[in-house]
Amino acid sequence: MSQLFMQHSVTQVCCGGQHAAILTESGHVYTWGRGGFGRLGHGDDALQATPKRVDALALEHVKCKQVACGFAYTAAVTMEGQVYTWGAGENGRLGLGDELDKMRPGHVKDLARYPVKEIFAGSVHTCALLEDGRIFSWGKCEYTGHGLQQDVLSPLHLDAFQGQLFAQVSVGPGGYHTITLSTTGEVYTWGHNRVGQLGYTNNEEVPRNNEGAHFLPTPRRVKTLAGGGPPLRIQKVIAGWGHSAVVCGNGDVYICGRNFQGQLGLGDPKNFERNERNHPYLAHFRVITDLQTGGQQKVKQFACGGEHSAALLNNDEVYTFGAGARGQLGHGDSRNEAYPRLNQTMRATRRVIKDVACGNNCTVMLVGAHRIPPLTEYCLEFITQNWSLYRHIDFAEALPHDLFLALRRLQHHSSFHDLSISISRQGSDQGMDQEDDQDEDQEVDDCLVSVAFSSMSFWEETAVSNASACTSFSQ
């Protein structure tokens, strides 16, 4: 794969239910993974072990600016704002006016008059954010936000906001809910809410559909993110399969939803309320305190996957947590993590990390050139690699503030966490309980993308000119 991209700079990485996609600087889309329903766009349903260019787009001289992977289909936006979709067509999720599967990209002509900024692909529904801030959606009726009783086979303007315009939209990989951020900073959600992923409790406010699942058929503002304190200044919204998150201007991350594998980063799932299926969940957004660094470092990007999450800090540190059985956390083992854990492998590369994406059971990162680490980082490495020095941390009071904070974070999140060393300012640490039980009812499928790595080496670095893709996949 490294030789494949030696002449191409990658600008975006994307994960779906069982496949992934890369967008190059030249506007070409590459896909790989399971090919069922034609989701790879190569004209067949064969499994593709390495990234392959979607030639049907290239032959028509179509250059793309964004790509999105749904559970069994793919969508892309061209430089001119046109939309192409391919893969599974059930429920009209492709927006082509029918429910047929498409082995090659098809032009969504009903959006031809509306320049599209971004496209978002879920499990059975799709959303498009226009350049003017309006939202169009289509697919399975319960999840489009239109409140209709029939599936929407073609793009339809979501006219439920009384003229409100939007800056961001997010639909999780294989997800059944949507979260949006308006241009005035308000958050709206709709769709599935069995595990509180919309930020609401399941009472009379959230009805059930014909299958007995709690869902909101039309968008509703998340009031718990709007009042009761100083403005959060929300900058990003992120949807996973069964959980949701928002990133604030100060780097704080608020999260809610399903916590069966610890994907909320808030501690042992055994301590959470359970729904009628006995799944632990959190129905209201809560801040992830272990990502509140207190220093100059803060979260700049966040990704929600099937049952895991990833946080990228502005110093290029990556923290992952949640389900680890498929290697999707990238720590070199298969343990679950109930709290954010620093990925030491990525940290050791000293690469600039440009993008991180989570699929159902995989993680993909886009990395750039090597960076020169600050003096604090060199000092931190020297202390932690010298056991006799690290063991006698009573000198911490004399350390520079940033270095002290870095040591405290490392004590919480790294392999040194188990040493139970106390820092005088910090007190005792909380244990990182693991939840290893597997959910028999989970609807998340394994990502069977073939990537060459050893049994417990989950990270493969792929040189891509000045940008590289690092992947952590299920074997």
Asked if the structure places residue 395 within a domain, the reply is no
| Full domain range(s) for residue 345 | 10-374+434-472
pLDDT band at 400 (very low <50, low <70, confident <90, very high): confident
Exposure pattern of 373-403 as b/e (b: 16+ CB <10 Å)? eeebbebbeebbeeeeebeebeebeebeebb
- CA angle 419/422/428 to nearest 5° reads 100
Least confident segment among 201-210, 400-409, 431-440: 431-440
- Backbone conformation region of residue 301, classed left if phi is above 0, alpha if psi is from -120 to 50, else beta: beta
Distance CA 276, CA 74 (A): 33
What residues contact 162, with CB distance under 8 A and at least 6 apart? none
Q: Summarize the confidence of residues 29-42 as an average pLDDT.
A: 97
pLDDT band at 58 (very low <50, low <70, confident <90, very high): very high
Q: Summarize the confidence of residues 153-169 as an average pLDDT.
A: 96
Does 157 score more than 80 pLDDT?
yes
Q: Note the pLDDT of residue 467.
A: 40
- In the block, residue with structure tokens 């900058």: 235
- Backbone conformation region of residue 27, classed left if phi is above 0, alpha if psi is from -120 to 50, else beta: left
pLDDT band at 449 (very low <50, low <70, confident <90, very high): very low
Asked if the structure places residue 367 within a domain, the reply is yes
Asked if the structure places residue 390 within a domain, the reply is no
Among 238, 267, 241, 262, smallest CA distance to 324 is for: 262
Q: Note the pLDDT of residue 447.
A: 29
Two structure tokens written together for 88: 């599974």
Asked if the structure places residue 250 within a domain, the reply is yes
Q: Summarize the confidence of residues 401-414 as an average pLDDT.
A: 67
pLDDT band at 295 (very low <50, low <70, confident <90, very high): low
At 23, the amino acid letter reads L
Q: What is the mean pLDDT of the chain?
A: 84
Distance CA 134, CA 182 (A): 10
pLDDT tens string 190-243: 999 999 999 998 876 787 877 778 889 999 999 889 766 778 999 999 999 999
Distance CA 252, CA 9 (A): 31
pLDDT band at 389 (very low <50, low <70, confident <90, very high): low
Asked if the structure places residue 379 within a domain, the reply is no
- CA angle 441/310/315 to nearest 5° reads 175
Least confident segment among 6-10, 155-159, 351-355, 393-397: 393-397
Least confident segment among 43-52, 254-263, 375-384: 375-384
Does 318 score more than 50 pLDDT?
yes
Q: Note the pLDDT of residue 206.
A: 80
Asked if the structure places residue 416 within a domain, the reply is no
Kindly report the CATH number assigned to the domain that includes residue 306: 2.130.10.30
449 or 376, which is more confident?
376
338 or 230, which is more confident?
338
Distance CA 178, CA 151 (A): 17
Asked if the structure places residue 313 within a domain, the reply is yes
pLDDT band at 397 (very low <50, low <70, confident <90, very high): low
Asked if the structure places residue 401 within a domain, the reply is no
In the chain, the percentage of residues whose pLDDT exceeds 70 is: 80
SS3 assignment, position 198: coil
pLDDT band at 173 (very low <50, low <70, confident <90, very high): confident
Two structure tokens written together for 154: 């073609």
Please tell me the total count of domains within the chain.
1
